[in-house]
Amino acid sequence: MSHRTRLQTQAALLKALAHPARLQILELLEDGEHCVCHLEAALGLRQAYVSQQLAILREAELIADRKEGLRVYYRACCPEVVEALRMIRRACGGQPEETKRAVGTRRACSCPECAGEK
C-alpha cells in the first residue's frame, strides 16, 4: 500500500468515527454484539437513523454483522480502533460507563437479548 493510499484510508476511518452517534454505537459494541432494535432502544434513536450510522461503520469495516432469523446483530471488528477510542475517551475525561449508564435510562427492546433469553 502506498503512503498516499494509507493516508487516504486513515482519513476515511477518521471520517467514519467523526460522529457522536457512531461513537456511541461503537462504545455499546465494545462489550459484544447487539441487534439493531437494541441499539435503537439503548440510544433512543429511530431505527432508520441507527441503520444509516451502522451502514457507515460497516462500510469503513469497523463493525461486522450476522443474521439470526429476522434480526441482524452487529459487533465491533477492529480491536485496535476500540482500544484507541477508549484512550481518546479517557484523554477527554470520559468514563467508559457513561453511555452504558445512559442506556439504563432508555426503554428496553423486545429482542431476546433484552428479554434475558440470550
Position 18 scores a pLDDT of 97
| Distance separating alpha carbons of residues 108 and 92, to the nearest angstrom | 29
62-90 confidence digits (pLDDT tens)? 999 999 998 899 999 999 999 999 999 99
**pTM metric for this prediction:** 0.84
Average pLDDT over residues 4-13: 95
- Per DSSP, 18 falls in state -
**DSSP secondary structure, 55-114, as one string:** HHHHHTTSEEEEEETTEEEEEE--HHHHHHHHHHHHHTT--THHHHHHHHTSPP-SSTTT
Lowest mean pLDDT among 1-10, 11-20, 72-81, 93-102: 93-102
Asked if residue 73 lies in contact with residue 114, where contact means CB atoms within 8 angstroms, the answer is no
- Per DSSP, 32 falls in state S
> Domain 3-104: which topology?
Arc Repressor Mutant, subunit A (1.10.10)
